[in-house]
């Protein structure tokens, strides 16, 4: 089968190549999916560039990609909830990384049936960003009437998080650039802040929750705008102690500056190292089918142009998700 592979750490164009490899075999608990579409995510090119090599030990060449939608073509003897021909979607666990390929084998426990009312491309856009947003907001107990700031509302995680938070009855602030204002407003945010023209800290304050998707100074600034006892949830800031243990980081201590900010505001601080979750994917399926959540796609690339897809994603200009369509190679 054809697959896009990482051959070494380095620049995207120099480190990715399309290769011919063996179709994976499946165990009793696994299914084999004929991949119709895969999503490109920032974590993918960060892996290529070597930013995560202290956390992830890779043996090159290795596949790339975590998000997948497609059709089940083989099921293991122990699999009860899927059959050949089922349309499915998933965010695969680390050991199955490599969804930008004709076929992917994966444990059936992390897979869900695809939403009936969207294409494979739109289904592939949902798992990683949707699970990340849900898990990050659940960790800080998002509830009705919470005032929440979601940074980077035009990004994959941000655009999902806006819709999810609104579905829970929250009052949503978000940041974006001038060119994305109308698009992000259409997602349902109560107040869209143009960070090129406004200081978000003056517009959004006394908040219950800040969802930090940017890191660096934004993580620390979150404590300036939450109320006493507020909550900060991050996917890019320093891990909390529990997450550090989950990530295999030993003898971890919170940065002193962060620890002081948490204490000063009596705040809750949570980091999310997203985990595959079939039940939450099924929740996403229901929300997509009742149109509570609308998948947001920027561009769709062919498999032959998959490397270009990652180069474009790395520019940071994507409005929504970048998708790689593999249906054509399966049909040929």
CATH of the domain at 257: 3.40.50.720
Closest to 134 (Cα-Cα) out of 284, 241, 15: 284
Token pair recorded at residue 224: 């300036």
Predicted pLDDT of residue 248: 84
Predicted pLDDT of residue 82: 98
Contact 272, 236 (CB under 8 A): no
Same domain, 241 and 150: yes
Q: Are strands 2-6 and 62-63 parallel, antiparallel or unpaired?
A: antiparallel
pLDDT per residue of the chain (332 residues) written in tens, 0 to 9: 999 999 999 999 999 999 999 999 999 999 999 999 999 999 999 999 999 998 888 999 999 999 999 999 999 999 999 999 999 999 999 999 999 999 999 999 999 999 999 999 999 999 999 999 999 999 999 999 999 999 999 999 999 999 999 999 999 999 999 999 999 999 999 999 999 999 999 999 999 999 999 999 999 999 999 999 999 999 999 999 999 988 888 899 999 999 999 999 999 999 999 999 999 999 999 999 999 999 999 999 999 999 999 999 999 888 889 999 999 776 65
Token pair recorded at residue 327: 């249906």
Flag whether 290 is in a domain: no
Report the CATH number that the domain containing residue 7 is assigned in CATH. Answer: 3.90.180.10
Flag whether 171 is in a domain: yes
Same domain, 30 and 65: yes
Same domain, 92 and 153: no
Structural domain boundaries, residue 246: 130-271
Same domain, 122 and 153: no
Overall number of domains in the chain: 2
Same domain, 265 and 215: yes
Same domain, 166 and 108: no
CA distances from 288 to 127, 170, 322 (A): 12, 19, 18
Question: How many angstroms separate the CA atoms of 40 and 55, rounded?
Answer: 20
Half-sphere exposure of 177 (CA within 13 A, CB side): 6
User: Is residue 220 packed enough to be buried (19+ CB in 10 Å), middle (13-18) or exposed (0-12)?
Assistant: middle
Contact 70, 120 (CB under 8 A): yes
Token pair recorded at residue 116: 């009936």
Residue spans of beta strands (DSSP E) within 14-152: 16-20, 30-40, 62-63, 67-75, 87-91, 103-107, 111-113, 147-150
Token pair recorded at residue 180: 């994305």
How many Cβ atoms are within 10 Å of 15's Cβ, its own excluded? 22
User: Is residue 180 packed enough to be buried (19+ CB in 10 Å), middle (13-18) or exposed (0-12)?
Assistant: buried
Contact 300, 14 (CB under 8 A): no
Same domain, 311 and 256: no
Bridge partners for 325 per DSSP: 37, 302
Flag whether 223 is in a domain: yes
Token pair recorded at residue 113: 């049936």
Same domain, 45 and 138: no
Question: How many angstroms separate the CA atoms of 129 and 296, rounded?
Answer: 11
Predicted pLDDT of residue 332: 55
Flag whether 205 is in a domain: yes
Same domain, 169 and 228: yes
How many Cβ atoms are within 10 Å of 285's Cβ, its own excluded? 22
Predicted pLDDT of residue 60: 97
């Amino acid at each position: 089968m054809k697959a896009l592979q990482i051959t070494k750490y380095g620049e995207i164009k120099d480190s990715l190549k399309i290769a011919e490899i063996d179709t994976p075999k499946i165990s009793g608990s696994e299914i084999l999916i004929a991949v119709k579409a895969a999503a490109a995510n920032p974590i993918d090119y960060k892996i290529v560039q070597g930013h995560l090599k202290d956390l992830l030990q890779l043996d090159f060449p290795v596949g790339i990609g975590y998000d997948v939608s497609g059709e089940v073509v083989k099921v293991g003897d122990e699999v009860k909830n899927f059959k050949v021909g089922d349309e499915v979607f998933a965010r695969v666990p680390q050991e199955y990384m490599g969804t930008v390929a004709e076929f992917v084998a994966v444990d059936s426990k992390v897979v869900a049936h695809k939403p009936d009312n969207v294409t494979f491309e739109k289904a592939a856009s949902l798992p990683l960003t949707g699970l990340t947003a849900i898990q990050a907001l659940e960790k800080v107990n998002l509830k009705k009437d919470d005032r929440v700031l979601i940074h980077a509302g035009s990004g994959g995680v941000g655009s999902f998080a806006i819709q999810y938070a609104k579905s829970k009855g929250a009052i949503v602030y978000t940041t974006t650039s001038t060119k994305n204002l109308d698009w992000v407003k259409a997602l349902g945010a109560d107040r869209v802040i143009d960070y090129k023209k406004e200081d978000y800290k003056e517009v959004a304050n006394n908040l219950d929750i800040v969802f930090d998707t940017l890191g660096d100074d934004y993580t620390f600034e979150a404590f300036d705008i939450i109320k006493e006892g507020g909550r900060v949830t991050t996917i890019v800031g320093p891990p909390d102690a529990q997450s550090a243990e989950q990530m295999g980081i030993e003898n971890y201590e919170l940065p002193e500056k962060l620890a002081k900010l948490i204490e000063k505001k009596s705040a809750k601080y949570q980091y999310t190292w997203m985990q595959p979750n079939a039940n939450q994917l099924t929740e996403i399926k229901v929300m997509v089918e009742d149109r509570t959540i609308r998948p947001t796609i920027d561009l769709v690339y062919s498999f032959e142009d998959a490397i270009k897809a990652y180069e474009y994603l790395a520019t940071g200009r994507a409005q929504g998700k970048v998708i790689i369509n593999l249906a054509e190679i399966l049909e040929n």
